[in-house]
Structure 1
């Protein structure tokens, strides 16, 4: 197979004038290979397209691209590269999205093309390039506009449009016309992005999300522009790109499975000291793969408050209680502060927390001393600490102040902790519903009633039935709804075939914090049962 492919490649070389294939390597500058001294650069020896015209209106057309890359470094064992194909306008300008195909000498994912013949010294590649179905016009001129490669010894190759022109690697395609740019919806702040930003000392970055659709050629790239006070602007770009694993992304954390229907994120950086006030998305510009552009202006979307805390400020932050009890339900914390420089009243306070739920309080009540209070909520049981990470304040004049790491603002020292669980459950009394049962009534359950006291609540139990020698003959365990005070009823299993005699019940209670207490176990383990041992007599019929 390799020899046959070599013969076909050689035939192409001899027919270069007829087929458009040109030989004579284009090489990059010399590079240094580790331990090898200076070596001959990588070179593009040949490049050709198999069809000069194609009808792509069905969406299934391909054009064969053949190329040869040479490498004079004997130590090199692998090479990877990229070939860029793009639509070219009549005036030579590039149109729309570049179409990339990747190749690798050693076959591996996600590279698309591998050698069909040759060695590292001169490797032949071939690939059936899928021609896009849509373009800006009914006829499109496509060309290979860049070839890059690198080997595992540090050699690199980049061949641009000017040098590639000698190969004539271009073709004409009949296309379906895409005359409209992309559309979008669902524009807003990305998940967990702050609505306040403190930029007095450093730039701040906000992440936005939007959903982009383009039914014809697919989405390519775009730009979001934010506008702030004093005609200040900031912008960020978004683009569908392929990562090192061959996966499409549109933004740093957003996968794209279809460029016709893509969710994207875009980061926009607002410089340090940029004017304070409300910054909003004012313009969205989107370009599809065919080069069509859609622009939406005059927006005021996803507003954020940028501040240096110069006009509106706050101080004397406090949180109470310092220790909370969430062992049996949600705990509520109160955060107080003293705002100054307020104009037209405080209209909103946003509180963010780590380990606890924040709040947005509209028009908070102002206490006689001028302070205001907002709430944080701590989930039950397992949250050991609540840390306030951000406080954002807005007044009626539109001024804002921001504090805490969540808003990149001055540090806050607002931490509350869970009241520790230091006391195991206590049993005040214990009794069995039945103390004597005939053997013929087995199997059955007796009922153990306990009067318990537990600061955090009993949530688990285990009990064991022992014979006269202290050997376990039955038992049960499990979880229960939390009981802090009062009666707790547990079932004591007595299995069929239990021999007549006297049996003792021992039990252990575990609270929600993991502390436990034991009662009635043999050999003095734990505590004695209040009121005496729990005895069940199994009698003959």
Structure 2
């Protein structure tokens, strides 16, 4: 049934239930409204029907968005032939469309679910899972590249909780004519960036003889009006070779935004990471960031060219090589401080000397050596440092060298190069601490002088150093009456002084002291405990007598 009312053509579709009146009107050559059409592209579980978009419309044909708070109401209807389905999730994407049909700027996404739930923006307003009406006031962006912009629904997707899905693309959505025209504040400038640089773990060298390699960068992007949408980073290498990587601001399921590795809440100030893949065999030499192109949500583009930033050395080890790799000492002593390591190799094929050599290590601190000295035997040496005590193993993960004319070679997993077998380990702790002598500065104390502390002086020998202690004061029956424990500055040889607490109220009589010394490797030795499960104290028991007075 159809008719006219006030010059507006009204169409009612009886084939599908619909809780809204659907309009179609010619506005400046743009058809606004909906015509219920055949099923959308749908998929369900084998042998049963899935969800289907059966109607879609926007209520306003034009809207003034210059205030920043304009909305258009979008109505849609979804059926689901799967009787077991109890929930529906999906999204609707609006995007600017040029007069020639070209999509402009960033899509604006509206998310929905059958039941109201965060972070979905819309939910069903009537019906059941089998046939439900949805409606939502879609916020229209304030900015566009021109004062007037055409917006259309360009994609609708949905899925139910039984595996049924559908996706309706731009071509099929054309039959619904769900579009509107908006007046905008003009945004005529593209995004800007600062803080461009390689990510912290980006290798300085990349070996690409057999496989592609990836260079990773991060940058901070600002667009105060429309907000950032997407971009591209270009690297330039030898002989005019280039490679590029793209970035795009996307929305997470919880409504937050993501650009590469970074999450955020604002499209106007964005941190992004971007990856650029260099194919296997790409020309060896120095590759640098040469161009950055950024696009905002309105479609404005800004391009910065002529850059030469954050170089990375790409190599197939064809011009310069290295051999005879070694690490010394094979076992290091870092129990009482840092330990030095030396990595040696013999470069060949280089010209004008070696300009720079880099060593990377797992668990230890590597180094970069500028203009390393070439020894008479043709070798060069790189230095590394092992942190104290807790580093048990130090593995060389990358070695890179660059000669005086810019040719390079790379080895090790950190640079995706040929495998290195360079490992140094900590000298093991095999000897527990030894006490050579022990004495107390107080052996008798009147009860009236309590509380007070006695000082226990130990002469110790420990390969890795004593750094913890525990001591206990026992009465004549072997019962504990006080004690103390804790960490101390490492002592490998010589005197170690410990405090023995003597509390107020100790009864007249004899008291003994037992103690435990623990070294940095976790080995311990016990002395003087009344249980008999410890070593005797050198020179006899540690005895303190409490007297009258």
Structure-1-length-normalised TM-score: 0.94
CA distances 1:458-505 after superposition (whole Å, capped 9, x unpaired):
111111111111111111111111111111111110110101111111
CA distances 1:141-195 after superposition (whole Å, capped 9, x unpaired):
2111222223344443333334433433222222111100111111111121101
CA drift at 1:21 = 4.2
Q: Which residue of 1 aligns with 2:345?
A: 337
Q: Which residue of 2 aligns with 1:22?
A: 34
Structure 1 stretch displaced more, 166-175 or 206-215: 166-175
| Structure 1 Cα separation of the partners of residues 428 and 171 of structure 2 | 74
| Structure 1 Cα separation of the partners of residues 157 and 476 of structure 2 | 86
The equivalences for 1:456-467 within 5 A come to 456-467=464-475
CA drift at 1:32 = 5.3
Q: Which residue of 2 aligns with 1:397?
A: 405
Structure 1 stretch displaced more, 210-219 or 75-84: 75-84
Q: 2:542 aligns with which of 510, 520, 534?
A: 534
| Structure 2 Cα separation of the partners of residues 11 and 468 of structure 1 | 93
Q: Which residue of 2 aligns with 1:6?
A: none
CA distances 1:235-262 after superposition (whole Å, capped 9, x unpaired):
11000012344331101x2113211111
CA contact (8 A) 2:394 2:425 kept: yes
CA drift at 1:304 = 0.2
Matched, 1:294 2:302: yes
Matched, 1:259 2:267: yes
Q: Which residue of 1 aligns with 2:390?
A: 382
CA contact (8 A) 1:196 1:407 kept: yes
CA distances 1:108-145 after superposition (whole Å, capped 9, x unpaired):
44322211111222211111111111110122221112
Q: Which residue of 2 aligns with 1:505?
A: 513
Instruction: Describe the SS at the equivalent of 1:536.
Output: strand
Q: Which residue of 1 aligns with 2:146?
A: 137
| Structure 2 Cα separation of the partners of residues 215 and 229 of structure 1 | 37
Q: Which residue of 1 aligns with 2:448?
A: 440
| Structure 2 Cα separation of the partners of residues 228 and 397 of structure 1 | 15
Instruction: Describe the SS at the equivalent of 2:72.
Output: strand
CA contact (8 A) 1:13 1:21 kept: no
Q: Which ranges in structure 1 are unaligned for 5 or more consecutive residues? A: 1-8
Q: Which ranges in structure 2 are unaligned for 5 or more consecutive residues? A: 1-16
Q: Which residue of 1 aligns with 2:76?
A: 67
Instruction: Describe the SS at the equivalent of 1:164.
Output: helix
Q: Which residue of 1 aligns with 2:498?
A: 490
Q: Which residue of 2 aligns with 1:93?
A: 102
Q: 2:421 aligns with which of 400, 409, 413?
A: 413
**Would you identify which runs of 4 or more consecutive aligned residues in structure 1 move more than 6 Å?**
14-19
Root-mean-square deviation (CA, aligned residues, Å) is 1.8
Structure-2-length-normalised TM-score: 0.93
Matched, 1:81 2:64: no
CA contact (8 A) 2:36 2:56 kept: no
CA drift at 1:15 = 6.2
| Structure 2 Cα separation of the partners of residues 313 and 17 of structure 1 | 73
Q: Which residue of 2 aligns with 1:127?
A: 136
Q: 1:227 aligns with which of 236, 242, 251?
A: 236
Matched, 1:352 2:364: no
Instruction: Describe the SS at the equivalent of 2:448.
Output: helix
| Structure 1 Cα separation of the partners of residues 344 and 429 of structure 2 | 28
Q: Which residue of 2 aligns with 1:171?
A: 180
Q: 1:241 aligns with which of 238, 242, 250?
A: 250
CA contact (8 A) 2:22 2:57 kept: no
Instruction: Describe the SS at the equivalent of 2:262.
Output: coil
CA contact (8 A) 1:21 1:46 kept: no
Q: 1:341 to 1:368 in 2, by over 3 A?
A: same
How many equivalent residue pairs? 529
Q: Which residue of 1 aligns with 2:127?
A: 118
CA drift at 1:20 = 5.1
Q: Which residue of 2 aligns with 1:104?
A: 113
Q: Which residue of 2 aligns with 1:3?
A: none
Q: 1:100 to 1:523 in 2, by over 3 A?
A: closer
CA contact (8 A) 2:159 2:165 kept: yes
Q: Which residue of 1 aligns with 2:10?
A: none
Q: Which residue of 1 aligns with 2:169?
A: 160
Matched, 1:51 2:60: yes
CA contact (8 A) 1:444 1:493 kept: yes
CA contact (8 A) 1:27 1:42 kept: no
| Structure 1 Cα separation of the partners of residues 77 and 517 of structure 2 | 77
Structure 1 stretch displaced more, 124-133 or 403-412: 124-133
Q: Which residue of 2 aligns with 1:422?
A: 430
CA drift at 1:71 = 2.2
| Structure 2 Cα separation of the partners of residues 87 and 32 of structure 1 | 31
| Structure 2 Cα separation of the partners of residues 343 and 531 of structure 1 | 70
Structure 1 stretch displaced more, 304-313 or 75-84: 75-84
| Structure 1 Cα separation of the partners of residues 59 and 36 of structure 2 | 19
Instruction: Describe the SS at the equivalent of 1:524.
Output: coil
CA distances 1:246-302 after superposition (whole Å, capped 9, x unpaired):
331101x21132111111001111000111000111111100001000011111111
| Structure 2 Cα separation of the partners of residues 177 and 24 of structure 1 | 35
